[in-house]
Structure 1
């Protein structure tokens, strides 16, 4: 068995995709998405990447509705559906077949009540499930009152269906995550960008007409995000990819080694606080110059949202006090 612990990005994407899908039961759909994310991590660790395909990868990464598919994955040319449940009785052979008799393989994932951890219990061929049900009915009669048969084969036996491979551990080693502020490495005058999404390496993104065979980092620049219809800083980083796709905001792709974390990450419009104050007020950055940021306290701005490029003008027009601080003295204050 394998334990999968979803991070904040996974959990937010799983939920938002379920909402966008218009699922009748958002909770069930979210948990199903987490189950797929768990199995994707297993595949990435142990199976040759060119021999499996996740049908819903882009839909969940970009929080878009899924196109209809009868199954979730293709592995070694087998169709695989992931079944996720808190109730382990759902993994009895008869129950599994009642819900999905047509796919080649079913993977069983159990989740905790608060969805902070999921366990990949195992998998089974559908044909084997049918045989077990038939045998049970013909020879076994009723199951013991306190002992029910659960269908499962160990997860690590799944790679026996394909070529003989060692544990491949093909998980990308990318230091960045959505929402991070980055700049182009070895460029002393590079503009700050926002990480929007990380593409799996097998997606083979292109850069300047050349196909990339590494994990690609897609970023957007705050100036382009500011031109959107609302305050993108109030959007959870997990949803930025969906937002940019919906609003047709241009993304730029980089190899991960061509980026580094921004030493001075703040841009006009950012929500910040001075953390060494005992009870710091929320402020909004009105301008940035070298290593210094100028801010206005948020409670002085009467409108719900102002385009960041207008903030300094509005402050001067209405004689609103602005204060300047060293960049390293300030910290982001999340508004999502």
Structure 2
């Protein structure tokens, strides 16, 4: 058995994809998505990457509706469906067959009530399940009152279905996550970008028509995001890929080794606080000085002043914030970038 602990990005994507899918039961669909994420992690750890495929990878990564498919994965040429449940009786052979008789293999995932951990219990061939059910019906009569048979072969036996190959860890080496601020490595004039999605290693075959040697990261630039219909800074980073896809916001692909974290990550429109205050007020960045060696290169205004003068629902493009504040007589303040901290609003 294997334990999978979804992070915040996984949980947000699993839920938002269920909402976009229009599922009748959002909870059930979200948990099913988490089960698929758990099985994908197992495959990445233990199975040759060229011999398995996740049918819903792009849909969950970008929180888009899934195209219809009768199974979740193809592993060594077998159709695999992932069943996720809190009720372990769902993994009795007869129950598994009743719900999914057509796939080659069923993988079973149990989840905790609060969905912070899922356990991959095992897997079984559908043909074996049919045999177990028919045998029990023919010869066993009623099962023991306090003991029910659950179907499960150990997860690590799944690789026995494939050829005898070395199973290398194919976990991404990429250190970045959606929402991270990055710049092009070694470029002193590079603009700050936002990581939108991190592609799995096997998806990084080409960028700009050329083969990429490394793991790809798709980024968007804040000025392009600012031109979208919503305030992207109030969207959870897990949903940025969905937002950009829906709004046709252009993404740029970089090899992760060509990116680095910027010394000064702030851009106009960012929500910030001055963390050394006991009860800091929320502020928004108005300007970032072009010369990085300027003293107090970040100019901010406090949100309570913006709301007082421009209204609570003020909708000002970040590029116009500074001039609007000047016109409205809203006082601004300047700090060095290391005096401020992001205060995310999602």
TM-score of the aligned structures, taking structure 1 as reference length: 0.99
Measured in 1, the distance between the counterparts of 2:204 and 2:340 equals: 38
- The residue number in structure 2 matching 1:211 is 211
Pair 1:190-2:200 in alignment? no
Q: Residue 327 of structure 1 corresponds to which residue in structure 2?
A: 337
SS state of the match for residue 3, structure 2? Answer: strand
SS at match of 1:168: coil
Aligned to 1:293: 298
Q: Which residue number corresponds to residue 41 of structure 1?
A: 41
Q: Which residue of 2 aligns with 1:81?
A: 81
Q: Cα deviation per residue 1:194-216 (whole Å; 9 max; x = unaligned)?
A: 00001112113422320225321
Q: Is the 8 A contact 1:202 1:213 kept in 2?
A: no
SS of 1:197's equivalent in the other structure is: strand
Deviation string for 1:137-196 (max 9, x for gaps)? 000111101100000000000000001133311111110000000000011111000000
Report 1:112-191 matches (<5 A): 112-191=112-191
1:310 aligns with 2:320: yes
Q: Are the aligned partners of 1:159 and 1:165 in contact in 2 as well (CA < 8 Å)?
A: no
CA distance in 2, matches of 1:272, 1:264: 13
User: 2:15·2:26 contact (CA, 8 Å) conserved in 1?
Assistant: yes
TM-score (norm 2): 0.96
Structure 2 gaps, min length 5: none
Residues 13-52 of structure 1 mapped to structure 2, 5 A cutoff = 13-52=13-52
Aligned-partner Cα distance in 2 for 1:213–1:68: 33
1:182 is paired with a residue whose SS is strand
1:301 Cα deviation after fit: 1.6
Q: Aligned partners of 2:209 and 2:60: how far apart in 1?
A: 27
Return structure 1 stretches of 4+ with deviation > 3 angstroms. none
Unaligned runs of 5+ in 1: none
**Number of equivalences:** 336
Change (3 A) 1:213 1:106: farther
